[in-house]
Structure 1
C-alpha cells in the first residue's frame, strides 16, 4: 500500500456543522512539486497549518502550506534556494451529500475512506504561486548569447565582433593595408 503523506484522517472532526479541528504537522513529500525551473524538491519537509471545519456538505479545509524551494535562475542558470507559502481553501464533499451527487468529478474534491487527500490541491496551489521563469535578482543580466559567460561576472566592455558569414569574404577586401614606411625600400 502506498503512503499518502498529504492525506488527513477526518474521523476526529465531528460531523456537526461548525465543528473545527486544527492540524499542524510536517510531512515529507516523496516527489518534486512545482514548475520546470523551480519547485519543492523530493524528500523536503512541507509544513501544514490547517483548519478542518465541518460544514453541511463536507469538510472545509483551509490554511497555509509552506515548504523550501530549489531551482535555477531563468536568465543566468545559477542555483536558487527560497521558500513558498500558499493559502488553501478547499471543500471535500461527504459521500452521498447533495454536493457529491450534483457535482462533476473534477468540480469538487471528495472524502474517501474518512480521509481528505490534499496532494492535488497542494500541487495546484504551488503551481500557481511559483514563477514560470524565476530570477536570482530582478536586474539579473543573464548569460552572453555568444559565449555563455555570466554577464554579471563579465568585464564591463564584454562583447563580440560578429561578422555575418554571408559578408565574411568581403571583410578581407575592406581592411585597409598598413601605411608603407618610406624608409622600408632603402631610399633616403
Structure 2
C-alpha cells in the first residue's frame, strides 16, 4: 500500500477494489505528524504510533477495524509532575465509497469518505484518542497536589505542612491586641 510521505495516516485502498469481502491487513509504525490528545496529556508530534488494522471492502465502502497505540506525555493536574503512559484505542470506522447510498444519504460529520482511493485515519485517531485519554490526568489516584500558599508538592512536603493564615476580615485587629498588651509609656 502506497502512502504519501507527509501523511502517515493515509492508506491506499485501491487493491481492495469494490469487491465486498476482500480484505487487507495493515501493520505499520508511523510518526505522528500532529499532537493528538487533550490539553493536559497527548501523543506528541514525532511519537511513534503502532497501527494494527484490517481494511475490509463492504458494499457501501471500506470498514476499518483494529488498534492504534502510542506513548503519551503530559502533566498531573494536581501536582504538575510529568506523566508518561501508553494509550491504545480500538477503531471501527466505515469510509464510504463516492456515490454510494451511504455517501448520498449522510452528512460529512456522520461518516468519513474515500477520496482518490485513499482513506485518511487522522480524524478517526484524533477522536478515538481524545475519548480514551483522561481530561484530568493524575500521577497517582491519591495525589495531594500542591500547597496553595507556597506551591511545594504536598507529596514531598514534611508532615503537617501548612501556613498560619489570618482571616482577612480580622487582619486589622492583629496589631491592636499587641498594642493593648504593651504598657503605655510616658504616662508614669
**So what's the TM-score if we normalise by structure 1?**
0.90
User: What is the correspondence of 1:15-94 to structure 2 with a 5 Å cutoff?
Assistant: 15-94=18-97
Q: Which runs of at least 4 in structure 1 moved beyond 6 Å after TM superposition?
A: none
Structure 2: distance between partners of 1:21 and 1:87: 17
Partner residue, 1:170: 173
Structure 2: distance between partners of 1:2 and 1:68: 22
Moved more, 110-119 or 97-106: 97-106
Partner residue, 2:138: 135
2:13 to 1, 10, 14: 10
Structure 2: distance between partners of 1:12 and 1:66: 25
Partner residue, 2:129: 126
Larger Rg: 1
1:112 to 112, 115, 128: 115
**3-state SS in 2 of match to 1:112:** coil
**What is the count of residue pairs matched by the alignment?**
178
Structure 2: distance between partners of 1:31 and 1:2: 14
Over aligned residue pairs, what C-alpha RMSD do you find? 1.6
Structure 1: distance between partners of 2:154 and 2:177: 32
Structure 2: distance between partners of 1:99 and 1:168: 70
Structure 1: distance between partners of 2:172 and 2:106: 71
- TM superposition shift of 1:165: 2.8
User: Where do 5+ consecutive residues of structure 2 fail to align?
Assistant: 183-188
User: Where do 5+ consecutive residues of structure 1 fail to align?
Assistant: 179-188
